[in-house]
């Protein structure tokens, strides 16, 4: 194989690839040779030869972005936005696979130009093709916590260039920010002008239930923003994450404005309206839920993201009630549109909290996570089955308790049966006629599209 790197000379012509992979001294020598050759070329100012180490149909996943084929990979690696780079390998492991490949895992530090060292890990899959070993799959990830943590901090304080967003380092986090940006909406898009007749047709128990739920969430989003401003934005100094938080603060404000507008629209008695606007002080059941959410602002342990996930997951319960009533009445599409918009936002916020939790340097113990979520479940079950029983709107309390546990299990990535299967439709892609009613599944024009998405072509597939 002309131009092949020196490590390929270790291949054996006398035995099959499967036999080579089973012999530890052979596949370890192949792996070590590949790692040495790869990073020697990578740390060179000219990285054009790196493509020779990949198979023609290989795949590279670089910080969440896929590149398919040797040519695309060579282009990516040759045009990385830095002048100098140095890899320091701290640990490497080589294992054979059942399909006669070699799995290589590399951990270490890398230094780009004059920046501080950053942790990284990289996984390669080597396969023997035509008598020579080549990389068929490559996954590269930077660690979000690359500098020693300051005392009392859960998240890394970031890099000196943290005030500049580009170049993007954490593509998965940045993609969530762009997703939030694409889904932005305002209260003016929700028409409440015809809602009062529908509200008046509700039974007293239904009105009582919904008004108290609205009261809690009108204050809840303010509590969320308090947590974001005082805690998370102070501790997380990664630009991509801060960008998401800044947009989350904006959309939580939109939610709070929406809940307040609903109270203003539905509740005509000024005294009752004032009590609802001050529900954290006037309603004990709301106060207990607010106290639970507020405790995470001053929590000194690393359980804050778990509590944040739990408090956001609770919002699905209000959306559930709104969805049920809209489906039951069927005469008013606005509550269903509203729950579509808010469900999409809060689902993304919850997913982002889970993503950032995965980057924690010091994760809370499994017992602590379970304790946090169990307490959240207990408070929610008490709220929706005792303090403000859902039987007021005709829902089975036992099934509601099970649904609350289902929401918690989803956060814990635990398989549980959803007792309200029609709730799954909230996450399905909608197909709405713009001329019939307002839609909730749109995204803003041009957001989350690359320049290549807008190129003119005559050979596109339809």
| Residues of the chain with confidence (pLDDT) below 70 | 1-23, 143-162, 296-337, 361, 386-387, 390, 392, 413-462
Structural contact between residues 296 and 308, judged by C-beta atoms closer than 8 angstroms: yes
Which helix (H) or strand (E) segment holds residue 136: the answer is strand 132-142
> Helices in 139-203 by DSSP H: which ranges?
171-182, 195-200
Dihedral sign for Cα atoms in the order 278, 283, 289, 291: positive
> Which tens digits make up the pLDDT trace of 379-402?
888 877 766 776 767 777 788 788
Residues belonging to the chain? 462
> Which tens digits make up the pLDDT trace of 295-350?
766 665 544 555 455 455 554 554 455 555 545 554 454 555 677 788 788 888 88
Which DSSP symbol is given to 365? P
CATH architecture designation of domain 171-424 = Orthogonal Bundle (1.10)
pLDDT of residue 161: 53
Integer CA distances (angstroms), 215 to 221, 274, 325, in order? 11, 10, 18
pLDDT of residue 177: 94
What does R_g of the chain's alpha carbons equal in angstroms? 27
CATH architecture designation of domain 26-142 = Roll (3.10)
Which of these is catalytic: 39, 54, 259, 359? 259
Structural contact between residues 300 and 307, judged by C-beta atoms closer than 8 angstroms: no
Q: Is 38 a catalytic residue?
A: no
Integer CA distances (angstroms), 177 to 170, 311, 345, 462, in order? 11, 20, 11, 30
Phi and psi torsions of 98, nearest 5°: -65, -20
Residue keyed to tokens 């509200």: 199
Q: If we measure between CA atoms, which residue out of 40, 65, 64 comes closest to residue 53?
A: 40
pLDDT of residue 448: 57
Domain ranges of the chain: 26-142, 171-424
Phi and psi torsions of 125, nearest 5°: -120, 115
């Amino acid at each position: 194989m002309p131009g092949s790197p020196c490590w390929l000379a270790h291949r054996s012509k006398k035995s099959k690839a499967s036999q080579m992979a089973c012999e530890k001294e052979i596949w370890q020598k192949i792996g070590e040779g590949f790692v040495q050759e790869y990073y020697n070329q990578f740390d060179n100012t000219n990285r054009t030869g790196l493509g020779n180490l990949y198979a023609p149909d290989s795949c590279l996943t670089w910080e969440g972005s896929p590149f398919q084929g040797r040519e695309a990979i060579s282009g990516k690696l040759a045009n990385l936005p830095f002048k100098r780079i140095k890899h320091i390998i701290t640990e490497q492991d080589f294992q054979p696979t059942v399909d006669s490949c070699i799995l290589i895992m590399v951990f270490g530090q890398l230094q780009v130009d004059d920046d501080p060292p950053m942790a990284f890990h990289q996984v390669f899959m080597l396969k023997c093709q035509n008598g020579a070993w080549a990389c068929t799959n490559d996954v590269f990830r930077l660690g979000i916590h690359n500098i020693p943590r300051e005392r009392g901090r859960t998240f890394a304080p970031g890099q000196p260039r943290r005030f500049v967003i580009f170049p993007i380092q954490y593509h998965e986090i940045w993609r969530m920010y762009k997703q939030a940006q694409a889904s932005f909406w305002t209260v003016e898009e929700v028409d409440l002008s015809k809602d009062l007749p529908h509200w008046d047709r509700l039974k007293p128990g239904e009105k009582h239930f919904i008004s108290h739920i609205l009261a809690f969430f009108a204050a809840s989003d303010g509590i969320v923003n308090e947590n974001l401003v005082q805690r998370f934005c102070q501790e997380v100094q990664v630009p991509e994450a801060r960008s998401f938080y800044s947009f989350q603060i904006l959309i939580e404000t939109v939610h709070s404005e929406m809940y307040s507008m609903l109270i203003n629209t539905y509740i005509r008695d000024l005294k009752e309206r004032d009590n609802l606007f001050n529900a954290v002080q006037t309603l004990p059941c709301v106060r207990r839920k607010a106290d639970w959410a507020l405790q995470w602002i001053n929590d000194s342990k690393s359980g804050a993201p778990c509590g944040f996930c739990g408090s956001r997951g609770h919002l699905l319960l209000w959306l559930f009630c709104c969805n049920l009533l809209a489906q039951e009445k069927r005469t008013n599409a606005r509550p269903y549109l509203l729950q579509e918009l808010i469900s999409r936002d809060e689902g993304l916020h919850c997913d982002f909290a889970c993503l950032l939790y995965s980057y924690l340097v010091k994760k809370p113990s499994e017992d602590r996570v379970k304790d946090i979520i169990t307490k959240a479940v207990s408070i929610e079950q008490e709220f929706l089955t005792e303090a403000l029983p859902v039987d007021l709107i005709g829902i089975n309390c036992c099934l509601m308790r099970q649904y609350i546990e289902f929401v918690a299990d989803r956060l814990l990535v635990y398989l549980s049966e959803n007792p309200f299967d029609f709730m799954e439709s909230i996450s399905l892609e909608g197909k709405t006629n713009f001329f019939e009613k307002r839609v909730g599944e749109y995204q803003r024009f041009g957001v989350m599209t690359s320049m290549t998405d807008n190129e003119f072509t005559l050979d596109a597939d339809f």
